[in-house]
Amino acid sequence: MQDNIVKIEGLYHRYSKDWAVQNISFEINRNGIVGLLGSNGAGKSTTMNILCGVLSQTRGRVLIEGIDMREQPEEAKKRIGFLPQNAPLYLEQTVDEYLTYCAHLRLIEKSKIKAAVDTVKERCGVAHFSNRLIGNLSGGYRQRVGIAQAIIHRPLLVVLDEPTNGLDPNQILEVRQLIKEIAADRSVIFSSHILSEIQATCEDIIMIEGGKIVFKDTMDTFNNYIEPDSFVATMENPPPAEELRSIKGIKEVTYLSDKTVRVRFEVAADIAETIVETSVQRKWRLKEITLEKSSLDAIFAQLSNKTFKHTEQK
């Protein structure tokens, strides 16, 4: 049995004259959630489409449990469940009809299809909508049905492209929990352009920007590596925004309420100590100050400007 579920080696892909991804290499081991983070157009969807056999790469190899996707695509795809960014749902079908159809596509034995459909409906929390048209479901439940089709054949690897995109906060929490439950006995790749989604869900992270990997390690390492670039402060006697902006190193000031302000500053600046000292001097009566992690744009800038030794995921 292979130690890793996924092994991607030297992956390149070009659309016309432009490279979408360049020299992408990583491995994913059994069980757990790996986050694939990048801004829109960074190359995430291209990487996932190649990984799942939807797109054929220009160069490089994709191995699924040691099986080459190009040489044995059917065998490799049997081990993968895929939910693309736009879920492949037939809105005129009921949940039962759609999942039964997906079970046939996944070559599940006819005698085992009903049990497979019932199991996946329960696991994804859509059993009470068995006879409901998919077109009449809310966005959150449609996404659950999309996840159900991705796991109905019990794949070793589940690939989810922006699975929480467009959902309301409650639906996002529900889908996050479902993904964590699925990852208990298989590997999950979770793609998003939203940093908070990756941080809330994933154990390891691969960050892609400009078609290249710029970070690859555990989420703990990532969170420790990224420096704060803003803080939120509460003051009893806050100054005008112009007064704060006049302090060296401060880039942007936004009042969230009469007494609470968010301040963005240059990453290298030791701004918190300056604010505390200035508050005492000018009698702002600072009550609380909380540093915030960098925005995604700031993170990409940091990673582009620093030398970072990529480590293989454990």
List average pLDDT for each run of 10 residues in the chain, which is 314 residues long: 84 92 92 89 92 95 95 95 92 98 96 97 95 95 95 95 87 91 92 86 91 90 76 93 91 92 78 89 93 67 51 41
- Give phi and psi for 113, each to the nearest 5: -65, -45
User: What is the C-alpha separation between 11 and 212, in angstroms, rounded?
Assistant: 10
Q: What is the pLDDT of residue 309?
A: 42
Q: Supply the DSSP symbol for 136.
A: G
Domain covering 227-293, topology: Alpha-Beta Plaits (3.30.70)
Burial 2-34 (b: 16+ CB within 10 A, else e): eebbbbbeebbbeeeeebbbbebebbbbeebbb
Which residue blocks in the chain are alpha helix, DSSP H?
Answer: 44-51, 73-77, 95-105, 113-124, 139-151, 169-182, 195-201, 219-225, 241-245, 271-282, 296-305
- E-strand stretches of 17-78: 18-29, 32-37, 59-64, 67-68
- CB 85 within 8 Å of CB 165: yes
Direct distance between the N- and C-terminal alpha carbons of the chain, in angstroms, rounded to an integer: 17
Rounded distance, CA 224 to CA 261, Å?
25
Q: What is the β-pairing status of strands 187-192 and 204-209? A: unpaired
Question: Which residues of the chain does CATH 3.40.50.300 include?
Answer: 4-224
For residue 156, the one-letter residue type is L
Strands 286-293 and 228-235: antiparallel
Domain with CATH 3.30.70.1560 in the chain: 227-293
Cα–Cα distance, 219 to 191 (Å, whole number):
14
pLDDT for the residue numbered 298 = 64
- Report the side by side order of strands in the sheet with 4-15: 18-29, 4-15, 59-64, 67-68
Q: What CA–CA distance (Å, rounded) separates 98 from 101? A: 5
Question: How confident is the model at residue 195, as a pLDDT?
Answer: 82
Q: What is the pLDDT of residue 313?
A: 42
Rg (alpha carbons) of the chain, rounded to whole number: 23
pLDDT at 242: 93
Which are the contacts of 187, defined by CB distance < 8 A and separation ≥ 6?
5, 6, 28, 29, 30, 31, 32, 34, 156, 157, 158
Q: What is the CATH number of domain 4-224?
A: 3.40.50.300
